[in-house]
A and B are shown apart, each in its own frame.
Chain A
Amino acid sequence: MTTVLKLFLSFIFATICHWACMAFFGEVGITVNVMLIFSMVVCAYLKPEFGYPTVFLSGLFLDFFGVKLFGCNAFVFTLCACAVYGLEKRLDFDGVIPQIISIFFLTLGAGLLNLLLLKVFTGFSAWSGFWPFAAGITLNAVLTPFVFKILRRVFALEIKIS
C-alpha cells in the first residue's frame, strides 16, 4: 500500500516535471520525455507487478494528452519496460554510466518506434528534424541520473526488500 502511495505521489511529481520541462525546453524546440525516464527508473527499482502498470498508465496518461494515436505511448512505454526488465540482470543500474546509456538508447528506440507507429496507423509524420530529436535524447540521458537519485531515495525500502 505504501509503495502504491509512493508511486502515485511520484507519478504526480513526474507529471509536473514533465510539463515544466516541456514548457521550458519546448521554447527551443526540444522535447524532453520525463515520464519515460520516470517509468524506466521505476522499472529498474521495482518489481514487474508495480513496474508494468506504472509504465502503462504513464504512457496512457501521455496518450490522453496527445492528439494523434491513442495508445501509442502506452505501447512504446510497455515495450521499453520489457527491455529494462530484460537488461536488469545484465546492467548495474546503480552506476551513472549504465543509467545514461540505457536511457539514451531507450529514448532513441521509443522515439523511432513512436514515429513508426504514427506513420503506420495514421500516416502522419511527426519528425521534427535531426537536431531537436538528438538534443531531446541527449537531454533525457543527462537528466536520468537525477531521476534515479530521487527515486532511489523514495523507494529505498522497496529496493532493500527486493
Chain B
Amino acid sequence: MQRKNKRKTHISQGSRRRKILPVVFLLFALLLMILPLESPVASIKALLSYVFIPQIRAAHATVEYASEVNQTVHTLLNVHQENERLKEEMEQLRLENAQAQEIFAENKRLISALDLKAPKGWTGLWAKTAYREPTQWNSVIIDKGSADGVQERAAAIALKEGVPVLMGVVIECAENTAKVLLLQDEDFSAAVYAAPSKEEGLLVGSSNGILKMQYLPVLSNLQKGEKIYTSAASSIFPAGILVGEVEKVEKESEGSTAPIAQIVPAANASLVRELFILTNQEKQEKK
C-alpha cells in the first residue's frame, strides 16, 4: 500500500513537472518579449558574440569548404572530359604519325626511284603492291593492270639504292590489277649470267628463299660473291638486271654432276612496296 502510494506520488510529481515546465518557460519568454530589455540584452549579445565566434567561423569555413568541393568536383569533371578529348586526339595523332611514317618511307623510296630516271631507258610504269595472298605468299597483286598498259610476262623490277633489281614476272593481268610471281617461287625461272666470270645458267626459285642457278658448266669457275644478272638469252627479261649474289657453289649435287650455285636475292620481296613494270617489252628487247 505504501509502495503504491509512493509510486502514485512519483507519477503525479512527474506529470506536474511536465505541466509546470512549459508554462514557466512560456511565461518567461513572454516576459522577455514584453519587458524593455534592450540594454542588458545588448551586453549579453556582445558577450555571446565573442563566445560563439569560433562556431561562426567554423560554420563559414564549412560553407566555404562545401563551395570549394563543388568547384573541385566541377574541375575534376572538366579534367575528365579534357582527358577523354586528349586521349582521342592522341589516338588520332598516333594514326596520323603512322600514316606519316608510311608516307615518309614511300617518299624515300619514290625519291630513289626518281633518281633512276627510267632504268636503262626502259619504258614502264610504277605500280604499288596492293595485296598479297596469304595462300600464295610468293606472288603479289599490283594496282595497275591492262588498262594501264601492263601485259602478261612483263618483268617486275624494284630499285635498291638506285640499282634495278629483278623481282618477278607478271603472270596474270586484269583490267586494273595484275599478279606478279616473285622470283622466290619454285615456278619462277630466268636465264642469267654471273659477272665477272660470265658463266651462264638457269635461275630457279626455291621455297626457302635462296635461289638456285642450275645448268652451270661442269668446269665452271663461278666464285662466291659474284653478281648475277639477267641474260640476253632470256625470252622474258631484258639483259643486265641484277638478280642477286652467289652465296655458295655446290660442285656435285644429288643426281647431277653439274654444279649448282645458291643465290641470295638482291632485294627482299616482303619489303618491296613499289614495282616498275616494263611495258613495250618486245621493243625494249629488240633495242
Chain A residues proximal to chain B, CB less than 8 Å: 12, 15-20, 22-24, 48-49, 52-53, 55-56, 59-61, 63-65, 69-72, 74-75, 78-79, 81-82, 85, 117, 121
Contacts and interface: CB of A to CB of B under 8 A. Distances in A.
Contacts of B100: none
Contacts of B58: 16
A49 B20 CA distance: 11
Nearest to B26: A78
B30 A71 contact: yes
Contact of A71 (B21, B29, B48, B63): B29
B40 to A, nearest CB: 10
Contacts of B66: 20, 24
B189 to A, nearest CB: 91
Contacts of B48: 61, 64-65
A74 B32 contact: yes
Contacts of A49: 17, 21
A14 to B, nearest CB: 10
For the complex of A and B, the 7 pairs showing the least CB-CB separation, nearest first, are: A71-B32, A19-B59, A75-B29, A71-B33, A74-B29, A20-B59, A52-B21
B32 A63 contact: yes
A19 B58 CA distance: 9
Given A24-B66, A70-B37, A78 B29 contact: yes
B84 to A, nearest CB: 32
10 contacts: A52-B21, A53-B25, A56-B25, A56-B28, A70-B37, A71-B33, A72-B29, A74-B28, A74-B29, A82-B22
B21 A75 contact: no
Given A15-B55, A16-B55, A23-B59, A64 B29 contact: no
A59 B30 CA distance: 12
A75 B33 contact: yes
A24 B29 contact: no
B219 interface: no
Interface string B33-44: 110010001001
Contacts of A117: 33
Nearest to A55: B25
Contacts of B29: 56, 59-60, 71-72, 74-75, 78
B60 A79 contact: no
